[in-house]
């Protein structure tokens, strides 16, 4: 049975306490001529203490902007960010600096993460200096502890980024993020720039560190296999909005939003070397511009099951299952991802 609830994707009622709560968070950028880019457009979502929350969606749907807004790298246009019980939306000065210890970012591109002219030791030491660790021996000790945790030899501190592999650099990025003992980490495509052979090592390292250090993680990824492997819950984003949130297994076995289903079907097709049918192929077109967002449900121009109401009425939140929320008028009528695959299998040599 569908139960409409007043707020977007309220997950706070479930088991663990939220470490982070977003309430109707908006980030718009000016786009000239009085228009704006609706990069993040009313996101309400919680991240629970100790969980790994996956954030998925096509390129340009607002995942990185959401991350940057949460971490206060950019100011929110409106809405609220509540971290560890405190509204940090407008935190400034000393308080903001303190917050930056607790919330860290692991970047997508380890090759661009460090100053190419500096030794990695100097780069790694910088945040400790910046946050007032005056004693050199203490800084050295903290750096060595972190290198040990990420499985890197001390000698790397003398090297410059160009002398290291992508995997080593990504371990250093993780070490730097953890130096200040954060509670919360956002990892934005942490393995997409790496060779396939070392991706699993980095992902396993993140899981180990999360358990050892009692971290809470948001993992942004295009790769649904990575999300399935690592995450406790998954939030699906489309054109600035969260359209579905569910526990990992529920999302992968019983997705309800047509967008989630088509994303999963496309991923299944890729893995199986199978042809996707017309519905999936339709999604392969570009998403609409976040400047001129479609009326009603934003997904309706690309949705395989859209009806008239979808272009005029914004869908409310429905709860198809415990801890599972979705914004779709017809969430109970969407074909399952496996039904979206054609039966023929592509010749891999084609
Ligand atoms: N500083 C900015 N000024 C104007 N528009 C921006 C700015 N940053 C992001 N955008 C726009 O906001 C939208 C969302 O971008 P964002 O990078 O958050 O998406 P994404 O889902 O992280 O994409 P990707 O997976 O490719 O990193 C895009 O249309 C992007 O062009």
Helix axes of 136-150 and 166-178: crossing angle, nearest 10 degrees: 130
pLDDT of res. 279: 58
Which pairing describes strands 274-276 and 52-56: parallel, antiparallel, or unpaired? unpaired
Our answer on whether the CB atom of 291 is closer than 6 Å to any ligand 1 atom is no
pLDDT of res. 282: 60
Report which protein residue has its CA nearest ligand 1's atom 9: 65
Our answer on whether the CB atom of 290 is closer than 6 Å to any ligand 1 atom is yes
Q: Would you list the DSSP string of 149-172?
A: HHT--GGGGGS-GGGS-HHHHHHH
Q: For residue 24, what are the CA distances in angstroms to 36, 295, 324, 349?
A: 17, 18, 18, 48
Report which protein residue has its CA nearest ligand 1's atom 10: 39
Q: What is the pTM of this model?
A: 0.89
pLDDT of res. 322: 85
- Structural domains for the chain: 18-256 (3.40.50.300)
Report the complex ipTM.
0.98
Chain segment 158-197, per-residue pLDDT in tens: 999 999 999 999 999 999 999 999 999 999 988 888 888 8
Count how many residues are written for the chain: 350
pLDDT of res. 325: 97
**CA 65–ligand 1 middle distance (angstroms):** 6
The low-confidence residues of the chain, meaning pLDDT below 70, are 1-16, 272-285, 335, 337-350
pLDDT of res. 337: 67
């Amino acid at each position: 049975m569908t139960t409409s609830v007043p707020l977007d994707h309220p997950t706070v009622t479930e088991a663990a306490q939220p470490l982070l709560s977003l309430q109707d968070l908006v980030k718009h950028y000016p786009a000239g001529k009085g228009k704006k880019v609706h990069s993040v457009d009313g996101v309400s979502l919680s991240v629970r203490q100790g969980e790994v929350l996956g954030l998925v969606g096509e390129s340009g749907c607002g995942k990185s902007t959401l991350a940057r807004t949460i971490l206060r790298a950019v100011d929110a246009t409106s809405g609220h960010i509540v971290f560890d019980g405190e509204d940090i939306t407008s935190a400034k000065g000393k308080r903001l600096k303190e917050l930056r210890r607790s919330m860290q970012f692991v970047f997508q591109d380890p090759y661009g993460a460090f100053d190419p002219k500096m030794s990695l030791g100097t780069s790694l030491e910088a945040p400790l200096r910046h946050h007032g660790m005056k004693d050199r021996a203490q800084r050295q000790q903290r750096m060595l502890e972190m290198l040990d945790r990420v499985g890197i030899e001390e000698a790397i501190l003398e090297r410059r980024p160009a002398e290291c592999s992508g995997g080593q650099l990504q371990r250093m990025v993780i070490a730097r993020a953890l130096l200040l003992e954060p509670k919360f980490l956002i990892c934005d495509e942490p393995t997409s720039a790496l060779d396939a052979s070392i991706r699993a090592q980095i992902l396993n390292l993140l899981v180990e560190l999360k358990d050892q250090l009692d971290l809470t993680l948001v993992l942004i990824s295009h790769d649904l296999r990575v999300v399935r492997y690592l995450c406790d819950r998954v939030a699906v984003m489309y054109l600035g909005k969260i359209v579905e949130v569910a526990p990992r297994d529920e999302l992968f076995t019983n997705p309800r939003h047509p967008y989630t289903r088509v994303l999963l079907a496309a991923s299944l097709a890729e893995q199986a070397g199978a042809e996707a049918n017309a519905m999936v192929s339709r999604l392969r077109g570009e998403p609409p511009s976040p400047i001129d967002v479609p009326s009603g449900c934003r997904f309706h121009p690309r949705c395989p099951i859209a009806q008239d109401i979808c272009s005029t009425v914004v869908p409310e939140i429905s709860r198809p299952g415990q801890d599972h929320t979705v914004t779709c008028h017809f969430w109970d009528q969407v074909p399952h991802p496996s039904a979206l695959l054609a039966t023929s299998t592509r010749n891999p040599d084609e």
